[in-house]
A = this chain, B = another copy of it.
Amino acid sequence: MNTIDLETLANRVRGELFAGQDDIPTRAAISGAAPLQDAEAGHITLIDNEKHLPRLQSCKASACVTPQSYPQVPIPQIVVANPHEAFAVICKLFRPIVVHAKTGIDPRACVSALAQVASSAVVEALASVGDHCTVGERTQIHRGVTVMDGCTIGADCQIYPGVVLYPGTILEDRVVLHANCVLGSHGFGYRVENGRHVSAAQLGWVHVESDVEIGASTVIDRGTYGATRIGEGTKIDNLVQIAHNCKLGKHNLVCAQVGIAGSCSTGDYVVLAGQVGLRDHIHIGDRSVVLAQSGVSDSIPEDQMYFGTPAVPRKEQAMILASLYKLPEMRKTVKQLERQIEKLGADQEHDESQQRKAG
């Protein structure tokens, strides 16, 4: 096993090295890097949150990386301005990422003679690229990818194994598509004719702008006549459904298992948390956030935070939930009030009849 001494590690991340309570030699050999819950003796670990400091007691790590503001710890400590950046550098020193130097089209790939693949692009074995496709410079098409006819793929894209691009899909530059995601499948729109569902037109396509990342097994349907479009810089997690004709804005975050029905649109910097559902034909305004599992049935203006099914502003929902969780108690109160009022009414009647007698 390769080891690297602490002083070398500290230098590589431009950090300051402290010896720890037991004055451990700063040339101690470190054999690996691992997060707190996995670190073994000989490893260096990361503490990115001061509340995790007590966990060092039960952790076998031999050294740690921390931000500058933390107190001294019992083990040697490399103090840096950006601990995540530093720890990533250290991890890579122990587990170097091998970059394939190979370029070009693998002889076991199926690339149409009518496709144009840039000379610096990679098409791996068992991938296929259809007629009239173009693939930009340095783009990597991994094994088992299927690019159907007439797709346009920009430069510096990463298309992971098992991805399927239906005909006419457009990817701009630096798009990352994770394994088994599907772009351009048919929209779920039908009309009834003689008691049978007949599919709407499927004449559109999917257009993904630059710097978009799309998660594993996510599905984006093609537009009816035009584009289903994902705006620049937007990041989409795994197992997300985006239906036909949707237009997502720029720099959105769409978390796992979100479902967006047909013809929805979003502004820029919108966040949809996990398992959220949007009904069709609504708009989510710039910078608005929809919290997890919410079901949104109406458009949401800019700069809002919504929650619940049907979704309402978060503060409103918090009051509803607070009341809801006291509902059984309130029900008892109401029953008691009923009895009290009945009694009060009876007493009053009694009093009145007494009064009448008295009067």
**Chain A residues within 8 Å of B, Cβ to Cβ:** 33-35, 37-38, 46, 84, 87-88, 91-92, 95, 97-98, 108, 110, 125-126, 128, 131, 142-144, 146, 148-150, 160-162, 164, 166, 176, 178-180, 182, 185-186, 188, 190, 195-197, 199-201, 203-204, 211, 213, 215-217, 219, 221, 223-227, 233, 235, 237-239, 241, 243, 245, 247, 251, 253, 255-257, 259, 261, 274-275, 277, 279, 292-293, 295, 309-310, 312, 319-328, 330-331, 333-334, 337-338, 340-341, 344-345, 347-348, 351-352, 354-355, 358-359
Contacts and interface: CB of A to CB of B under 8 A. Distances in A.
A88 B203 contact: yes
* Most chain B CB neighbours (cut-off 10 Å) among A199, A215, A227, A279: A215
B355 A185 contact: no
Copies in the complex: 3
A182 B179 contact: yes
Nearest to A350: B352
Given A164-B160, A293-B295, A323 B331 contact: yes
A12 to B, nearest CB: 15
23 contacts: A35-B204, A37-B247, A88-B203, A110-B125, A162-B162, A164-B180, A178-B182, A180-B217, A185-B238, A196-B233, A197-B235, A216-B219, A217-B239, A221-B238, A275-B295, A320-B328, A334-B337, A337-B337, A341-B344, A344-B348, A348-B348, A354-B359, A355-B355
A248 to B, nearest CB: 13
A275 B274 contact: no
A359 B309 CA distance: 59
